[in-house]
């Protein structure tokens, strides 16, 4: 059996293919789906053992599952983390982590811009339980320092963030937090571990909505956390009560999807860069937001902490909302759909998608203008995507 262990000399795709091989317990090349909810113990001693071990995947499916463990191992190996745990969704990962480390009277520093669900958690849910949050402009590293209070327990980061594509200085925030005994959390969904590894910059907890790039095929919901063994065991312990457990089939789908993560993300990086450059030249476009563009105000920081700039970009059409409707209608390839990171390009008007969920104030706070378009590149051939966008721009 091949065991590649923690050998860092392997390339990313080799790690994606082999880092869970030592968890294989049968003859199959493709991992089986362990559907059984419980496992049989040989005797009383083994029963005591399997029922009490943290992250144990051979007792009861709420504690763990062998298929799910393999997915956690592959993600941890890629992120360079000691341990990992998988959830039923990205929000399951976020909520369970917050519940694991926060109590009434604690304070959180978060960003003005986050994924909508994270924003709702810190704005509306945590205050109900006596947990206060200060939101800061993530572009201003010193703002994190100014926001810290004696009772700050956690700093929440997400970079790059959607739809503004702002970047957080992970090294600065981690050093600040470490000097004050504060835990740092990074939502690394949009960058993916192919382009950015927050643990290398000192972040404590890395999270993914595995629904996006990790799954990669628009067909599953899952979330992941990678961190030290101690932190992961604490989160696992909380999830025993929360129960945000992925189905074995979704773990298997994500495991199947993640094998090609590097191949997909490199093509998505290429597509997004080419699209951003094309749009920047267009007379129909006010502004393009993509960390890979030299015109991005934080391009230097992005180059420092990212090895690629990701598949996601936003841009502001001069014609506003109606031009956005016409543009999207005219595209032949990208689909008008929300969840991104899979093989297909997807496009949305944030002003339309978030209108029902975010208040007018929160929309403004997030920089969502009427002409804003979010384009998440898929793995289509670059020329085809560019030609499609060019012809759609001509229609508006
Ligand atoms: C950046 C980011 N974080 C978290 C989430 C939540 O993940 P899920 O939908 O898997 O619960 C999403 C979902 O869109 C996201 O885009």
Distance CA 290, CA 312 (A): 7
Which residue has the least CA distance to atom 2 on ligand 1?
A: 115
Mean pLDDT in residue range 266-294: 98
Distance CA 158, CA 166 (A): 9
CATH class of the domain whose range is 261-394? alpha beta
Is it true that the peptide bond before 170 is cis, omega within 30 degrees of 0? no
pLDDT exceeds cutoff 50 at 1: no
Residue pair 244/95 in contact (Cβ under 8 Å)? The answer is: yes
Render pLDDT for 326-384 as a digit per residue (tens, 0 to 9).
999 999 999 999 999 999 999 999 888 776 666 777 777 777 888 999 999 999 999 99
Report how far ligand 1's centroid is from the alpha carbon of 187 (Å).
9
Report how far ligand 1's centroid is from the alpha carbon of 91 (Å).
6
Distance CA 393, CA 396 (A): 6
Mean pLDDT in residue range 248-264: 98
Name the catalytic one among 187, 204, 316, 388.
187
62 is catalytic: yes
Backbone dihedral region for residue 243 (phi beyond 0: left; psi -120 to 50: alpha; all else: beta): left
Let me know the angle formed at the C-alpha of 282 by 328 and 341, rounded to the nearest 5 degrees.
Answer: 45
Name residue, tokens 């990208």. Answer: 334
Q: What is the pLDDT, as a whole number, of residue 25?
A: 84
Let me know the angle formed at the C-alpha of 160 by 156 and 161, rounded to the nearest 5 degrees.
Answer: 70
Strands 152-158 and 107-111: parallel
CATH topology of domain 12-258: 3.40.640
25 vs 130, more confident: 130
Q: What is the CA radius of gyration of the chain?
A: 21
State the alpha helices, DSSP H only, in 105-208.
116-120, 141-147, 170-179, 192-195
Which atom of ligand 1 is nearest the CA belonging to 221?
10
344 is catalytic: no
Name the catalytic one among 115, 213, 289, 290.
115
Tell me how far apart the terminal alpha carbons of the chain are, to the nearest angstrom. Answer: 58
Name the catalytic one among 22, 62, 139, 344.
62
* Percentage, residues of the chain above pLDDT 70: 97
270 is catalytic: no
pLDDT band at 6 (very low <50, low <70, confident <90, very high): low
Render pLDDT for 70-129 as a digit per residue (tens, 0 to 9).
999 999 999 999 999 999 999 999 999 999 999 999 999 999 999 999 999 999 999 999
Distance CA 6, CA 9 (A): 9
Report how far ligand 1's centroid is from the alpha carbon of 95 (Å).
12
Is it true that the peptide bond before 163 is cis, omega within 30 degrees of 0? yes
Name the catalytic one among 15, 58, 135, 212.
212
Tokens found for residue 287: 């502004």
* Percentage, residues of the chain above pLDDT 90: 91
3 is catalytic: no
pLDDT exceeds cutoff 90 at 268: yes
Q: What is the mean pLDDT of the chain?
A: 95
Q: Where are the domains of the chain?
A: 12-258, 261-394
Report how far ligand 1's centroid is from the alpha carbon of 114 (Å).
10
Phi then psi for residue 99, to 5 deg, are: -65, -30
Tell me if residue 244 falls in helix, strand or coil: coil
Report how far ligand 1's centroid is from the alpha carbon of 49 (Å).
35
pLDDT exceeds cutoff 80 at 161: yes
Render pLDDT for 208-238 as a digit per residue (tens, 0 to 9).
999 999 999 999 999 999 999 999 999 999 9
pLDDT exceeds cutoff 90 at 11: yes
Which residue has the least CA distance to atom 8 on ligand 1?
A: 90
pLDDT exceeds cutoff 90 at 5: no
Q: Which residues line ligand 1 (CB under 6 A)?
A: 89-91, 115, 117, 158, 187, 189-190, 209, 211, 221, 223
| 152 strand-pairing partners | 107
Pocket residue to mutate for ligand 1, from 75, 91, 167, most atoms within 8 A of Cβ? 91
CA distances from 3 to 10, 18, 46, 284 (A): 12, 7, 26, 54
Within 10 A of 166 (CB to CB), how many other CB atoms are there? 23
Please compute, for residue 9, the number of CA atoms within 13 A of its CA located in the half-sphere on the CB side. 0
pLDDT exceeds cutoff 80 at 245: yes
Concatenated DSSP letters of 347-372 = EE-HHHHSTTTS-HHHHHHTT--TTE
Q: Which of 222, 240, 235 is nearest to 88 (CA)?
A: 222
Residue pair 57/69 in contact (Cβ under 8 Å)? The answer is: yes
Distance CA 196, CA 346 (A): 22
């Amino acid at each position: 059996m091949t065991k590649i262990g923690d050998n860092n000399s392997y390339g990313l795709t080799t790690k994606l293919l082999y880092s869970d091989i030592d968890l294989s317990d049968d003859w199959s090349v493709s991992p089986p789906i362990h559907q059984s909810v419980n496992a049989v113990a040989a005797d009383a001693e083994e029963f005591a053992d399997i029922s009490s071990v943290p992250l144990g995947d051979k007792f009861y499916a709420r504690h763990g599952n062998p298929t799910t463990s393999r997915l956690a191992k592959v993600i941890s190996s890629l992120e360079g983390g000691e341990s990992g745990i998988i959830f039923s969704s990205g929000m399951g990962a976020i909520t369970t982590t917050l519940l694991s480390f926060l109590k009434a009277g604690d304070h959180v520093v978060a960003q003005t811009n986050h994924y909508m669900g994270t924003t709702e958690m810190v704005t509306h849910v945590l205050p109900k339980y006596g947990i206060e949050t200060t939101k800061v402009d993530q572009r201003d590293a010193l703002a994190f320092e100014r926001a810290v209070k004696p009772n700050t327990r956690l700093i929440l980061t997400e970079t790059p963030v959607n739809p503004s594509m702002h970047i957080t200085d992970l090294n600065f925030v981690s050093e600040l937090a470490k000097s004050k005994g504060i835990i740092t959390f990074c939502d690394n969904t949009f960058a993916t571990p192919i382009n950015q590894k927050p643990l290398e910059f000192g972040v404590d907890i890395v999270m993914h909505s595995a629904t996006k790039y990790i799954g990669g095929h628009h067909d599953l919901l899952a979330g992941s956390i990678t961190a030290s063994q101690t932190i992961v065991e604490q989160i696992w312990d909380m999830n025993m009560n929360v129960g945000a457990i992925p189905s074995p089939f979704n773990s298997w789908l994500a495991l199947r999807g993640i094998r090609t993560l590097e191949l997909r993300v490199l093509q998505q990086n290429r597509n997004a860069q080419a699209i951003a450059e094309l749009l920047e030249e267009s007379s129909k476009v006010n502004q393009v937001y993509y960390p890979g563009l030299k015109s991005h105000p934080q391009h230097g920081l992005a180059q420092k902490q990212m090895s690629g700039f990701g598949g996601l970009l936003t841009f502001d059409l001069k014609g506003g909302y109606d031009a956005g409707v016409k543009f999207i209608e005219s595209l032949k390839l990208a689909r008008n759909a929300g969840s991104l990171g899979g093989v297909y390009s997807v496009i949305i008007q944030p002003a339309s998608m978030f209108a029902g969920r975010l208040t007018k104030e929160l929309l403004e706070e997030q920089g969502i203008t009427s002409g804003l378009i979010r384009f998440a590149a898929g793995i289509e051939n670059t020329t085809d995507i560019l030609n499609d966008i060019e012809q759609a721009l001509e229609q508006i």
